[in-house]
A and B are shown apart, each in its own frame.
Chain A
Amino acid sequence: MFESLTQKLDKAFRNLRGQGKLTEKNIRDGLQEIRAALLEADVNYKVVKDFIQDVQDKAVGQEVLKSVQPSQQLVKIVHDELIKLMGEEHAPLRMAQKPPTQIMMVGLQGQGKTTTAGKLALQLKKKGHNPLLVGADVYRPAAIRQLEIVAEQAGAEFFTLGEQGDPVDACIMARGEAQMRGSDVIIMDTAGRLHVDEQMMGEVRRIANAVKPDEILFTANAMTGQDAVNSAKQFNDALPLTGVVLTQMDGDARGGAAISLIKVTGCPIKFIGTGEKLDALDTFHPQRMADQILGMGDVVSLVEKAQEVVDQDKALKFQEKARKASWDLEDFLEQMQQVKKMGSLGDLMKKMPGMGKLMDQGFDVDDSQLKYFEAIIYSMTPYERRNPKLINGSRRRRIAAGSGTSVQEVNRTLKEFEQSKKMIKRMMKGGGKKKGKRAGMRMPGL
């Protein structure tokens, strides 16, 4: 997608080379492409309009740099402006001078408030706090039960007045409860509600007025579209919001709502939800978000993800083997299993810069192919795996029968293996170590 955006921009800027300055006229088409990209990423229409105006003001009059493409020059401006919009690198939780710190979760239905409350509790618990989760959603069936289970999983305290109880009372009483149990952080899980529901908004206002929380976190999912501005605005008008939690960031939504949310509430994004498990709560990185919104491939995240799952010792062993060119099918299999741990191949590819476009064009990565490889390699004897050259016709037929595949597929696996071997050899030979690493980390195109 980034590739296609720059390509589109390249096309829009065909005639720009040789011109001295960026002008309103010669960047018009380029700005149109950027506008479309931002809209496709769910950045709000009006926000985009203002934003494009800002970018135009910034860009017009700039010298056309000789060293980079005009498209890259413009994308750089857009990228920087996006980051500027999204603010500080990291905004930590505001803790009360005198405990307990009171945190209130608010938002529309189905955004992930209860799950986030649990994640927050776990994170605070790990930092040595003793959080108390308060079940104040008396409307959604079993919502309080869900929070209770989540509290147990997080090892946090739990308090509720039940579904018959008054949510305002529950939140008020939580303070005394926290004192009794020695909890220094209270996390209140309120019911999901529509911003146009005056009665329900009244309730959440009453809670906020009564307990005066240190943090009121508006929770919204990353897939939210244009309407994010409306709901966020009305919540912000009704309550003194202090932060935003952006959930379901583990999907493939571009997350342009983030910008709308920040712009409308004036609050930083304090956390992002990155998975269903209780520990999948991360801090927000404006730089990465800008990349994602522009569809630039989240290279940094990818590198981090790789570091997370790839066994460092094994990686070293691979390197050693590769250098000595003793790379065999067992290594190939192990390497593929490591890759598999990082998620589906499709996911991975999309995160690679330039790959998004291929995927959009219908280039498909088939995860099931890995299964075939596995089955085929498992059907070989250890001796064969270490000496792939010895696998002749009759061995191939046996392997095909053993793995329930065909000789063609065995051939293909062996061919893939040979290619990977060649590639690794080339990589080991060609890569100047430091330089290679730096190039890998750099944002392409900037």
Chain B
Amino acid sequence: MTETEEKRGFFGRLREKLVKTRTNLADNVRRVLTGRGRIGDEAFEELEEILIQADIGVETTLAIVADLRAKAKQERLEDTEALVNVLKDDLTEALSVADRSLTWEAGEGPHVTLVAGVNGSGKTTTAGKIAQQLKDSGKTVLLAAADTFRAAAADQLNIWADRVGAPIIRHKEGADPGSVAYDAVDAAISRAIDCVLIDTAGRLHTKTNLMNELEKVQRVTGKRLPGAPHEVLLVLDATTGQNGLQQAKIFAEALNVTGIVLTKLDGTAKGGIAVAIQKQLGIPIKLIGVGETVHDLQPFDPREFVEALFN
């Protein structure tokens, strides 16, 4: 990462990373909305198409478009440009309501973060990247390999720990993930470490036993340190379709999910399901992954996100 790249900062980079997304979506929008002067039914239909193709989902899309229609009528919008602005505002507003703060401060004792999600969403990578960023900001970090199921999952996290220069707590493959989490918090307390990141095994939300196990990890963590985990991040792959809503719902039933990490936004997937999740479940997107480097994991900003999509 060169210095100029650093300076360009998050939004510049996000915009750049979203170029592919943007060209697609924005070109469509422009074609639809600025191509013609007046707003016709066709414009709304094509907008609907754009939103659905972004994985926002039929229901949420219809709600958004219905609002837009009402507003267009009420405010007598005739200019398509104005319509896009209303849509942007609506989307931004829908994404802005929830609390997106990430403090990494627990007050007393270590700040504990639990990372969960379905298989292959990018939990370990996310944990590794967060660890590096915390370390860079001057905090001490401990990683906990509570994925004791997948072959070499702990090895994968271990490599991150080495890279970051952070201690790691790992048990044997097949060990109880709850005890890994407990030991990790315990170790962090006795070593006065600032932040604990617990990487859990990927699991489908339909596996009741595995969801119970996850709930236990959360509970056990709180036993060692009341109030922990302070942050429970659900990692969601941006390519996920409508099932993402169900995923988030079930995970939020088992865990006190505080936010979503939307990964793999550097492809052509738009991650629109996260919009539906926040709208319907009130779980905010806190971080987004827009690339492979550590710095490509970024705080989520609704306004910039929407702007980057449409500009």
- Interface residue? B80 (CB, 8 A): no
Contact with B149, one of A226, A251, A253, A276 (Cβ below 8 angstroms): A276
Minimum CB–CB distance for A69 against chain B, Å: 24
Interface segment out of the listed A12-20, A36-44, A181-189, A402-410: A36-44
Residues of the B chain whose Cβ atoms lie less than 8 Å from the Cβ of A367 = 208
Residues of the B chain whose Cβ atoms lie less than 8 Å from the Cβ of A230 = 267-269
- Interface residue? B101 (CB, 8 A): no
The tally of residues in B whose CB lies under 8 Å from a CB in A reads 48
Q: Which of B44-101 contact A (CB under 8 A)?
A: 49, 52-55, 57-59
Question: B243 near A227 (CB under 8 angstroms)?
Answer: no
- Interface residue? B20 (CB, 8 A): yes
For chains A and B in complex, what number of residue pairs have CB atoms within 8 angstroms? 148
- Interface residue? A194 (CB, 8 A): yes
Q: Is the interface of A mostly helix, strand, loop or mixed?
A: loop
Whole-angstrom CA separation of A378 from B310 in the bound complex: 63
Interface segment out of the listed A143-151, A298-306, A421-429: A143-151
Question: A150 near B151 (CB under 8 angstroms)?
Answer: yes
Whole-angstrom CA separation of A149 from B264 in the bound complex: 27
- Interface residue? A272 (CB, 8 A): no
Given the contacts A110-B120, A141-B155, A231-B268, A224 and B239 also touching, CB distance less than 8 Å? yes
Whole-angstrom CA separation of A296 from B242 in the bound complex: 17
Residues of the B chain whose Cβ atoms lie less than 8 Å from the Cβ of A221 = 120
Contact with B58, one of A40, A110, A146, A347 (Cβ below 8 angstroms): A40
Q: Is the interface of B mostly helix, strand, loop or mixed?
A: loop
Minimum CB–CB distance for A368 against chain B, Å: 10
- Interface residue? B192 (CB, 8 A): no
- Interface residue? B205 (CB, 8 A): yes
Question: A252 near B120 (CB under 8 angstroms)?
Answer: no
Given the contacts A226-B241, A251-B243, A145 and B152 also touching, CB distance less than 8 Å? yes
- Interface residue? B281 (CB, 8 A): no
Question: A109 near B269 (CB under 8 angstroms)?
Answer: no
Interface segment out of the listed B156-164, B178-186, B254-262: B156-164
Residues of the A chain whose Cβ atoms lie less than 8 Å from the Cβ of B151 = 145-146, 149-150, 153
Question: B268 near A142 (CB under 8 angstroms)?
Answer: no
Given A223-B244, A227-B269, list of 20 further CB < 8 A pairs? A36-B58, A39-B52, A108-B264, A145-B151, A146-B152, A148-B152, A194-B264, A196-B266, A223-B240, A223-B241, A225-B241, A227-B238, A228-B241, A230-B267, A248-B119, A248-B204, A250-B204, A250-B207, A252-B205, A276-B150
Can you show 15 pairs from A to B with CB atoms below 8 A apart? A36-B58, A42-B55, A42-B242, A142-B158, A153-B151, A196-B20, A221-B120, A223-B118, A225-B272, A227-B238, A227-B267, A253-B243, A343-B208, A344-B206, A344-B208
Q: Which residues of B contact A (CB under 8 A)?
A: 20, 49, 52-55, 57-59, 118-122, 128, 149-153, 155-156, 158-160, 204-208, 237-244, 246-247, 264, 266-270, 272-273
Q: Which residues of A contact B (CB under 8 A)?
A: 36, 39-42, 44-45, 108-112, 140-143, 145-146, 148-150, 153, 194-196, 221-228, 230-231, 248, 250-254, 256-257, 276, 343-344, 346-347, 367
Name the 5 nearest CB pairs between A and B, nearest first. A225-B241, A110-B120, A42-B241, A141-B159, A146-B152
